[in-house]
Amino acid sequence: MPTSAAPIIEITNLKKHFNPPDGPLAVNKISMAIMAGEIFSLLGPNGAGKTTTINMMCGLLTPTEGDVIIAGHSVIKEPLAVKRALGVVPQELAIYPTLSARQNLVFFGKLYGLGGSELNKRVDEVLEFTGLTERAKDPIEEYSGGMKRRVNIGIGLLHRPQIVFLDEPTVAIDPQSRRNILDAVKELNAQGTTILYTTHYMEEAQELSDRVGIIDHGSIIALGTQDELMQQVGEQDTLVFCVPDVPDEFIDTLGAIQGVNKALHVDDEIRLLAKDGRTVLPDAIRLINEAGLSLQSVEVHEPTLEALFLHLTGRALRD
């Protein structure tokens, strides 16, 4: 991957306090850098502050405090210069449903300053890239959810931006469309585009990212390459027991087993973080049986970002 050591984005003390003093503190003094050529994922649960951060970075929201320097320009002082370097793909579909994909692309392309044969060429290329060439002339309201998402993404790529922000581009779509989008993101990155990708799916962050920032309640609680992050969890395994109808007190019983660092109850699952999963497993199974609960399956995971989040917050990434 063409990652270089030079930061192309520098965020300093970025803060957003909506409707102060009683409104939510959505982003709480974030500072971090994104390197030219990397895929950087911002991973966090719903309401963590991902969208708010991205919106401040692209000049859509005015920060309460702090600044972001993108490609050498301050988003506060030179918003237009920053916007020229950026392609932004918003979380919500921001397209005109009665127009066709081509009409949408042509419209936004013109506003990005493209024109003439250059515009047509780019529109064709983006349609090809997003796999929409055949349906390009149909109104978008007749598209499937996945196709709409792809138009939404394509618009942000028209002007060949140096940097692309993708805000949860795979929310609520089928596995196949998600696969296409993830592959497209990798290809875009391979062409040299720096990518900031937000998600609450740890699998996506794991598959795509050079580096990951984990955000929770408006703060970055961990940041680094995946290896660096895994070291923070230590050599821990995650044990996942599928057991219906577990009383909450029982989780504490499991947490008391020698070698278990954290125990958590998510839906029908019990999750245990343990230094050595294999030594803990027999005890856990015995206790579940003694409590008269029906154990349906057991899995042992290698350390994951999910486990890191659990380790850091005591909560699951998705709840």
Handedness of CA 79, 85, 91, 96 (dihedral sign): positive
272 binds ligand ATP (CB under 6 A): no
Burial 103-140 (b: 16+ CB within 10 A, else e): bbbbebbeebebeeeebeebbeebbebbebeebbeeeb
Residues 133-162 that bind other proteins (CB under 8 A): 155
CB of 314 to other proteins, least distance (A): 34
Q: Return the axis-axis angle of helices 101-111 and 145-155, rounded to nearest 10°.
A: 20
Residues 225-284 that bind other proteins (CB under 8 A): none
51 binds Mg ion (CB under 5 A): yes
- 2 or 23: CB nearest ligand ATP: 23
**Secondary structure (3-state) at 1:** coil
Distances (CA, A) of 35 to 1, 57, 63, 88, 290: 12, 15, 22, 17, 53
User: What is the arrangement of strands in the sheet containing 25-35, beginning at the earlier edge strand?
Assistant: 25-35, 7-17, 65-70, 73-74
46 binds ligand ATP (CB under 6 A): yes
Looking from the CA of 198 toward its CB, the CA atoms found within 13 Å total 25
60 binds Mg ion (CB under 5 A): no
CB of 96 to ligand ATP, least distance (A): 23
209 binds ligand ATP (CB under 6 A): no
Distances (CA, A) of 144 to 98, 121, 149, 270: 14, 25, 9, 36
Q: Which residue has the tokens 């125990």?
A: 263
CB of 171 to Mg ion, least distance (A): 9
71 binds other proteins (CB under 8 A): no
Piece of 45-53, 69-77, 115-123, 291-299 that binds ligand ATP (CB under 6 A) = 45-53
Q: Label the pairing between strands 269-274 and 219-225.
A: unpaired
Partner whose footprint covers residue 107, from ligand ATP, other proteins, Mg ion, none (CB < 5 to 8 Å by kind): other proteins
- Burial class of residue 175 (count of CB atoms within 10 Å of its CB; 0-12, 13-18, 19+): exposed
41 binds ligand ATP (CB under 6 A): no
CB of 199 to other proteins, least distance (A): 19
94 binds other proteins (CB under 8 A): yes
CB of 169 to ligand ATP, least distance (A): 12
CB of 234 to Mg ion, least distance (A): 30
| Residue from 12, 15, 67, 107 binding other proteins (CB under 8 A) | 107
Q: How far apart are CA 269 and CA 91, in angstroms?
A: 30
49 binds ligand ATP (CB under 6 A): yes
171 binds Mg ion (CB under 5 A): no
64 binds ligand ATP (CB under 6 A): no
CB of 86 to ligand ATP, least distance (A): 18
Distances (CA, A) of 192 to 97, 129, 160, 187: 31, 15, 10, 9
Partner whose footprint covers residue 59, from other proteins, Mg ion, ligand ATP, none (CB < 5 to 8 Å by kind): other proteins
Instruction: Give Cβ neighbours of residue 258 (< 8 Å, ≥ 6 apart).
Output: 280, 283
Residues near other proteins (CB under 8 A) are 55, 58-62, 80-81, 83-84, 86, 88, 90, 92-96, 98-99, 103, 107-108, 110-113, 155
Residues near ligand ATP (CB under 6 A) are 18-19, 23-24, 26, 44, 46-52, 91, 168, 200
